[in-house]
Each structure stands twice: as structure tokens, then as C-alpha cells.
Structure 1
């Protein structure tokens, strides 16, 4: 069953944040992930208008999503955003089986 990284972001320093985003596509590809939404147009329908960037990444399994997030390569890339490039909330959610 697929799982999803769901991220809400505030970008404080676009130059530093780009160091992170330049590395992530190759890292997540190693885990069979694909980006479903990244940046682009959005509309907050409910809740505080704090976050200004939203990202959804699909992984083949919950385990692969967690493994990627905890990998040394991802931690190294994420250090750029964690050290002042942005404020991010990340959630990994397992997909649902929809009965037919």
C-alpha cells in the first residue's frame, strides 16, 4: 500500500532551501517515490495561513517512506533546510484501501 510524505513549509532563505531541493529528487527516486505536488498554486481552505509551500510525495510503502526520511543522504540534504533555510512540518501517512 502506498504512503505519502506530506510537508508544509515556510521558506526563510530560498538560496539555502534550494541546496536541499536540488538533492531531494535523486534521493527519493532511490526509494521508488514520485512527487505528486510541489510548490505551485494552492488555496488554504481552512486553518491558519502560515505555510506557503506544500509538498506531497508518494512512496510504494510506508516502510520505504520512513527508510528514505531516516537515510543518511536525506538527513544530509535536510540539514540545509533545518539550519535556517525553512521551517517544515513533515508527516508520513499510509494510503487507504478503498473498497470497490
Structure 2
């Protein structure tokens, strides 16, 4: 069953974050993942939520998403993201 990684990102070093954006697509492909949303414009419909950047990733399963997140191939990119941005990230099973 499909799984989605939902990410809220507040970037504080935009220049270095660009390197993260370059590295990430190949890491996703290695785990059959893909971007569904990648930083598009947001509009709050309810609540007090003003995210800077939203990313949604799709994987075949929750397990595959976790394998990607824990993988050696993603580690370099993850370190850059964690250094250049504040991130909230969840994985949720699709229907």
C-alpha cells in the first residue's frame, strides 16, 4: 500500500539547501520514491499554519520510505538538510 512522507521545511541557508535539492532526487529513485509536491505555493484553508515549504514524497510502502530515510545514499543529503533547515517529517500510510 502506498505511503507518503509529508515534510514541512523552514530553510535558513537557501544557498546550501540548493545542494540538498540537487542530491535528493537520485536517492528517492533508488527506493522507488517520487515527489508529489516539491515546494509549491501553499494557501491555508483552516487553522494557524503558515509553512515556508511543503514537500510530499510517495513510496510503495511505509517500509520502503523508512529504508530511504535510513539509507546510506540519503545520509549526505539528510545532513545538509538538517544543517540548513528546520524540518518536521512524518510518514503516513495511504489508502
Is TM more than 0.5 here? yes
Q: Are 2:6 and 2:57, in contact at CA under 8 Å, matched by a contact in 1?
A: yes
Shift of 1:51: 2.2
Corresponding residue of 2:79: 79
Task: Show structure 1 runs of 5+ residues with no match.
Answer: none
Q: Are 1:10 and 1:50, in contact at CA under 8 Å, matched by a contact in 2?
A: no
Corresponding residue of 1:9: 9
SS for the counterpart of 1:17 is helix
Q: Deviations over 1:12-41 (max 9, x none)?
A: 011111111110000000111111111121
Shift of 1:50: 4.5
List 4+ stretches of structure 1 deviating above 4 A. none
**What is the TM-score with the length of structure 2 in the denominator?**
0.92
- The aligned length equals 95
RMSD in angstroms over aligned alpha carbons? 1.2
Corresponding residue of 1:90: 89
Look at both structures and tell me which one has the larger radius of gyration over its CA atoms.
1
Task: Show structure 2 runs of 5+ residues with no match.
Answer: none
Q: Are 2:13 and 2:85, in contact at CA under 8 Å, matched by a contact in 1?
A: yes
